[in-house]
Structure 1
């Protein structure tokens, strides 16, 4: 079911260089980084670019409004002020709704899902810094503390029963996504469709294009989660939300061993029975809560909970690699007969496009490979949204030789850190042919709309063991690394 060369930005190449859809069916794309600590991609099917831009502004405004309600990282947010006030106040309807849903899923999951994991995460971060595992006594103390109710809500308002920071990030992010899409719809009633993808958590609505009513969503493979890697599967959905969770994106490293950032509130230990989960639901708050919950439960427990939840379908990748699907999940999947061959050369490119100016859109980015004669071999990624700025990517624009790409509108994945992207090269060229071991140059080009431009490269001899090169940091742009090797 793998798709060759597919990435969550493949649609951009088709949109920018393929046939232009009819004006009433055109998809407009907007990309940001550093939104709620991750990436934000917006797509709106609109009659005009002005209408799409208005929808973008409405969605961003709603995200910011709700950030000031739910963010535990902002001292001025409503939930932070509630903690400072001593824990008694009349909450907004938004905060009340999120707290109610956390309480509901905490009960449904038997305590596997909780808004009280912040002290547990802090314990593991401290242990990582100290280079040791948390002790059994430390885990027992914290898990006993967070097992008790954190708040009560009645006609008089909300009363906190703890001084610990509440972690409303997962369900709260889903709630924000749902409301951001609703805000865009309300601001531009003529919209025909839209997708909001916040760090891999997605909400879809309406039609994708004149040729395709449903939106295509790739599911990141936990065994190969690079941003340009072939997805584990592809879903076709509309008027649905999809979220994924997994231990591959973040975590703790202690004495050289990686531990998942997903912690079981009942034991205090990293959740290890599941590699990744994907949940389809009517709203993203539900999809997000369940994706995290199913990462903590065993696959059998998770399948039972998902099957018992109306409007939900789920897929779980067990730690052993076995796939578990609810009865209706396969109905959303798109079959593919694409080959999964690899060449003799492999490479991993890690880039950081953390914005130095939070008010800018994400920069246009191209990463590609050329041979010793400067001829293009493979485009690993191209990220950009507007035709008129593509020529500003002067080097890539001059050599670009993209092969056929499958159209994917977004990829659901575990949330990535802001600005960090990983790309893999499987040793094939843009036509799917394996290349020989030898010298190759890896290019990294960035450009902002009406802003600075950067071109960096690293020439590597990919013939023997692993060799590493660097993309140097500049005042306006962060850097990156590339490591390549050849099969012996």
Structure 2
């Protein structure tokens, strides 16, 4: 997420330091959504019902392998610091719980759940129980394209991407036979959740969970709800490149909505026959309040093998990166759903994805194709300005 502002952004460190995998690459790739909030940073509104409110921007660095940006309209500097301290503490706790990459002393995380696969039920937090239940329920209702039980297979792609970025001359695709063997060790029916006992068990010792398609959005939903319950009325949270939530409206006279720029994939990673030069940065600007936006794109997390980019969005049917679209943006009321649904739509053929969106009340989407073409649902079209894409399929 990029904040369109020439003013200085303060960096807010989380309470403790967490290990980060490929943070610098992901920061460079996290230009998916751009936000232009209403208030001017550091300049209070002088008249009207929001007199005295100032727009503040803070970045939380080092959690969820990305930069979390918070923009809020508050009356005092002390207010914004209290808001961000609260958000950072919650994001820190959730990052630790949802981490699949390393053990954290004194905490049972998803890393520990994976490490205990094939063993006895493991006591976990309510947050982990609820996250896994949400993922399983939504995946089953949406055709299973995003399957958190495919972590063993996804880890092979993750390792290949990391190796390929570290040593581009030796970048290679994972062995198809090894991918197929890892994919055999999957299945949501092998995840045993006991809410009464507060435990989780993975029945297959070679199976691993991967919640990367939803963790940021789910955590952002929790923090948004906490801040709203505490009385904060005008803020947005952008959790890296995949999810953003907008709460209330900008507290500034004459500004009725937050504005979210939909990034042009071709400006960041030109497709075959495309040039980055001359490409518009944004394909459209959406005007939104009290909404969540999720996005998945082929330019967010990728590596290059023999001149061909391979993204991180792996189709469970082919075990290869999906390539139907350059990006998909989802607009709905639930940040967790927006995050998970954007990945699902990226993996589904357009017709199936469109039917799914049409079946979900209050949900809209934009499918972005190469060469500046895109298809948007009727509900989002009236909220778009500065449209730079040609409506329609290639």
Q: TM-score, normalised to structure 2's length?
A: 0.75
Give, in angstroms, the shift of residue 135 of structure 1: 4.1
Partner residue in 2 for 1:202: 244
Deviation at 1:216, TM superposition (A): 0.8
Match of 1:124 in 2: 157
In 2, are the aligned partners of 1:316 and 1:324 still within 8 Å (CA)?
yes
Question: How many residue pairs align between the two structures?
Answer: 328
User: In 2, distance between residues paired with 1:205 and 1:96?
Assistant: 26
Query: What is the Cα-based RMSD across aligned positions, in Å?
Result: 2.7
Q: Is the 8 A contact 2:146 2:213 kept in 1?
A: no
**Partner of residue 137, structure 2:** 104
Question: 2:20 is matched with which residue?
Answer: none
Give the Cα separation in 2 of the matches to 1:69 and 1:202.
21
Structure number with greater CO (CA < 8 Å, separation at least 6) is: 1
Residue 250 (str. 1) matches residue 298 (str. 2): no
Give the Å deviation of 1:17: 8.0
Equivalent residue for 2:218, pick from 150, 153, 175: 175
Q: Provide Cα deviations, 1:281-325, integer angstroms capped at 9, x if missing partner.
A: 111100000011111111222111111112211111135753122
1:131 deviates by 4.1
Tell me which residue corresponds to 2:3: 8
Q: CA deviation at 1:181?
A: 2.0
Q: 1:37 aligns with which of 59, 65, 73?
A: 65
The yes-or-no answer on 1:83 pairing with 2:148 is no
Three-state SS of the structure 2 residue aligned to 1:223 is: helix
Once the two structures are superposed, residues 238-278 of structure 1 have per-residue CA deviations (whole angstroms, 9 ceiling, x without a partner) of 11110111001221322222111110122201111111000
Q: Distance in 2 between matches of 1:118 and 1:224?
A: 31
1:132–1:54: structure 2 CA closer, same or farther, 3 Å change rule? Answer: closer
SS of the equivalent of 1:82 reads helix
Partner of 1:265: 316
Unaligned runs of 5+ in 2: 9-38, 164-169, 270-278, 389-394
- Determine the structure 2 residue equivalent to 1:328: 379
1:310 to 361, 369, 378: 361
Matches of 2:6 and 2:159 in 1, distance apart? 42
Q: In 2, Cα distance between the equivalents of 1:181 and 1:96?
A: 19
2:313–2:322: 8 Å Cα contact kept in structure 1?
yes
Which residue does the alignment assign to 1:28?
56
Q: Residues 165-244 of structure 1 correspond to what in structure 2 (within 5 A)?
A: 165-187=208-230, 189=231, 191-200=232-241, 201-208=243-250, 209-225=252-268, 230-244=281-295
Q: Per the alignment, do residues 136 and 64 of structure 1 end up closer, same or farther by CA in structure 2, a change over 3 Å counting?
A: closer
- Asked if the contact 1:25/1:192 (under 8 Å) is kept, the reply is no
Instruction: Give deviations 1:197-229, integer Å, cap 9, x for gaps.
Output: 110310110121232132111111111138x96
Taking the TM superposition and a 5 Å limit, the aligned residue runs for 1:395-406 are none
Higher strand share: 1
CA distance in 2, matches of 1:49, 1:26: 9
Report the alpha carbon displacement of residue 36 of structure 1 after superposing the two structures with TM: 1.4
In structure 2, the residue matched to 1:159 is: 201
Residue 296 of structure 1 is matched in structure 2 by 347
Where does residue 92 of structure 2 map in the other structure? 64
* Structure 1 portions without partners, runs of 5+: 1-6, 339-488
1:87/1:180 CA distance change after superposition, 3 Å: farther
